[in-house]
Amino acid sequence: MTIHGGWGMDAPINDDEIKRAAISGATSGNNTLVAAVSGLKIKVLGMVLYAAGAVDVRLESAASGTALTGVMSLSAAGDGFVLPMAPPGYHWVETIASQLLNMELGGAVQVSGFLVYQLSK
């Protein structure tokens, strides 16, 4: 993988390869966003995430696994962020092959949104 400006670059993808998932987690600790697929990586292309209250959030490869982001502190209800759709051929973060995409929460606070991703070797 080649890195350009902090983004991972891959071959362009087709619309039929783009997948979407709702984000809804409220468990302190591990919250699976996308289940693992044998031999494939999960590449995040875009995301919207909002919290119902103050909570720390981190994306990981596997439950309690490798950190894909630093801890992002959402300090009040309605706080959140948007990762805009990456340009064709790019992505924000990726899991290790055969590992799930996890959202680790620092408290039992509802975190909601949606995720756009692709599966790749």
Considering only CA atoms, give the Rg of the chain.
14
Q: What is the reported pLDDT for 96?
A: 98
Given a contact cutoff of 8 angstroms between Cβ atoms, the answer to whether 121 and 97 are in contact is: yes
Per-residue confidence (pLDDT) for residue 2, from 0 to 100: 36
Distance from C-alpha of 94 to C-alpha of 18, rounded to nearest angstrom = 14
The pLDDT value given to residue 38 = 97
pLDDT per 10-residue tile (average), the chain, 121 residues: 45 71 98 98 98 98 97 96 95 98 98 98 92
As given in the structure block, the two tokens for residue 45 are 């292309």
Q: Which DSSP letter does residue 100 get?
A: -
| Rounded alpha-carbon distances, angstroms, from residue 108 to 10, 15, 56, 120 | 36, 35, 10, 32
- The pLDDT of residue 3: 38
Taking the C-alpha atoms of residue 28 and residue 83, their distance in angstroms, rounded to an integer, is: 23
pTM check: above 0.95:
no
Please tell me the predicted confidence (pLDDT) of residue 9. Answer: 54
Domains and CATH numbers, the chain: 2-120 (2.60.120)
